Structure formats: C-alpha cells, structure tokens
C-alpha cells in the first residue's frame, strides 16, 4: 500500500452502501475502480445488527486487501461531522453514532456520508458528471435522494443534511411521506409513486393493465417497478402512462431546482432510471416547459448516471480519502 499523502489518491479504501434492503461493499482504488465487491441483506431494522453486518463485510474484504479507511454511504440524514445518522426514514437509525460503532468493530478510520451524496460524488469524479462543476444528482428509487456538487465541492449544508430534494413539498396536503410531512416530491416522482399508480390502474381496470399483470403473475398487490418498466418496453399503454406521469413530476421538480441552483447538468440514477427514455423523455419535456425564463436562458442537460449500482460504494470509498 502507498504511504504518506500518496495513499489519499493511490491507496485502497472500502466503500459501503447501506440501504433498506442491502449492504453492498467494495474495495476501491484511487481511480474509482472496484477491485472486489460483496453484498448482504440488511438485517431487519436493528441498528447494532446493521453495524455488525457492516463490520462483517469489511472483515471479509480486508482478509485479502490492505486498506486504510472505510467510507459508509447511509440512507439517512448525516450530521456535519460525518459521524452520526440523525434520522433514517427506512431504518432504525435515530441519532445513531454509526461512525464510532463501526470504527470500534473494524479498527480503521471511518467516515459516514449520505448515500445520495456518495452517488453524486462518484458521478462527479468518475462518471456522468466529470468536468461539471455545478451538478445535481438524483437517485430515483423507492424515494428520491439528492446530491449537489456546487463549484466543484460536495454541498452538505450547515448541519450536514442539505440536498434532501425528495422532501421538497410539491403538493400541500398530498400523499403522506416517511419524513413526517405530506406531499413531498418523492411521493410523486419515485418508484413508490410508480407502483402506487400502476396498482391503482390494475385494480380499477384490469383489462387496461394486462401486460403489467402478466409481469406480476396476475397479482395486483405484487406489482413492482420493474414489472411496470418491462410492460412499458413491450408497448403497454398503461405502463407507459405510469412512467410518463412519474417523469412529468420528475421534470417539475427539476425545474424548481433550476430556479434555485442553476446547475449545468442533472444526473439521474436509481432503479427507476433503468426505464431510460420512457422516464427521461417526459421528464425532459416537462422540465423544459416548467423551467423559469424558458426560451430565454441556457438549460441543463438531463442524463443517465454511468456508474449504476456501484456508485454509492465508489463515492463513499473516495470520500473516505478526504
């Protein structure tokens, strides 16, 4: 392993991406290359068990690689010191000292970062955001995660929990959200929104949702986002309509972000982005319709993320060097 300051660019670090269903980890070099990766289910909603699982995957990786730090991308709000998970809507983290809990188990320096921030940093350094100094990254999965690169720096906010774009309120009194509010953006432009709409259509008019129901084995309540995408790719009008609706709301929110931040590129990742232009075409269309000053200003590009499911762990590993 490199020594001294060189290790910050050349040494190996481990990135861990912790979500509601999986813990993914990998050994990453200074060029953002994943040398080896492992994956385990997230163990229920017990904070100590999650820390134990993170320690276990780190131990598995350090058995074959010498690393000098661990970066954790966590699906929650992280404090400014990158040490505690203040709140996690989908895990049992409430003011959880995750950095210290994991460091005590693994015996290595540890930093904790919001998972969408980690994704944004990875795309900025190694992916679709290379060369862009003002970048908005959105992970469109179960909800919407946001990460901002402003002036070439990762923006965290005064208390460490900035860029939570999915919790902008777009419909007062709208659908309830796990954050405690109602009408948040992610309730209308996410995988959760896609599935809710598809299930509603399938329940109200099964004949209009034939392809979606075929993909789910005829089970309305079992319909998933990938089922909708599969049906849309086959030309199913109801599935296409669902993705158009979600894309419309995605573009609506991006227009609001343009008014505030004026980025030069949006990078869209997360599971729902697998739908490609079935999602992005209506998102781009609505973005161009709704952006303030349309027709009289330059507008940002909207592109798909390049690093896929490994972006979170790559970004977390790279941020462990900073």
Q: What is the DSSP string of 42-73?
A: --TT-HHHHHHHHHHHHHHHHTT---S-EEEE
How far is 25 from 258, CA to CA, in rounded Å?
33
Mean pLDDT of 220-224: 91
270 within 8 A of 145, measured Cβ to Cβ: yes
**Per-residue pLDDT at 3:** 41
pTM over 0.75: yes
**Per-residue pLDDT at 10:** 61
More confident residue, 22 or 313: 313
* Lookup: tokens for 95: 């003011």
310 within 8 A of 39, measured Cβ to Cβ: no
Express each pLDDT in 4-37 by its tens digit.
Answer: 444 445 689 999 999 877 899 999 999 999 999 9
Mean pLDDT of 49-65: 96
How far is 299 from 95, CA to CA, in rounded Å?
39
148 within 8 A of 261, measured Cβ to Cβ: yes
Residues 6+ apart with CB under 8 A from 255: 286, 287, 289, 290, 291, 292
């Amino acid at each position: 392993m490199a020594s001294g300051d060189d290790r910050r660019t050349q040494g190996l670090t481990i990135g861990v991406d912790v979500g509601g269903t999986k813990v993914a980890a990998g050994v990453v070099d200074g060029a953002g290359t994943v040398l080896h990766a492992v994956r385990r289910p997230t163990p229920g909603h017990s904070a100590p068990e999650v820390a134990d699982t993170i320690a276990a995957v780190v131990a598995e990786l350090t058995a074959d690689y010498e690393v000098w730090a661990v970066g954790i991308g966590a699906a929650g709000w992280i404090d400014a010191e990158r040490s505690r998970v203040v709140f996690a809507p989908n895990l049992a983290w409430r003011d959880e000292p995750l950095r210290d809990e994991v460091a005590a188990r693994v015996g290595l320096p540890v930093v904790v970062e919001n998972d969408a921030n980690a994704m944004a940093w990875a795309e900025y350094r190694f992916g679709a955001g290379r060369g862009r100094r003002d970048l908005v990254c959105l992970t469109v999965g179960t909800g919407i995660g946001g990460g901002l690169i402003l002036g070439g720096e990762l923006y965290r906010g005064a208390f460490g929990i900035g860029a939570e774009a999915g919790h902008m309120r777009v419909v007062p009194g709208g659908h309830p959200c796990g954050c405690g509010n109602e009408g948040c953006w992610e309730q209308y432009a996410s995988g959760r929104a896609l599935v809710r709409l598809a299930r509603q259509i399938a329940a109200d008019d099964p004949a209009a949702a034939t392809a979606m129901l075929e993909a789910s084995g005829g089970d309305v309540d079992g319909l998933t986002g990938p089922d909708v995408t599969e049906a849309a790719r086959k030309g199913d009008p109801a599935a296409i309509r669902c993705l158009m609706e979600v894309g419309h709301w995605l573009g609506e929110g991006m227009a609001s972000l343009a008014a505030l931040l004026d980025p030069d590129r949006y990078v869209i990742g997360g599971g729902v982005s697998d739908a490609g232009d079935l999602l992005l075409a209506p998102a781009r269309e609505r973005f161009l319709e709704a952006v303030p000053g349309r027709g009289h200003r330059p507008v940002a590009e909207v592109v798909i993320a390049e690093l896929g499911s490994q972006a979170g762990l790559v970004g977390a590993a790279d941020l462990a060097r900073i």
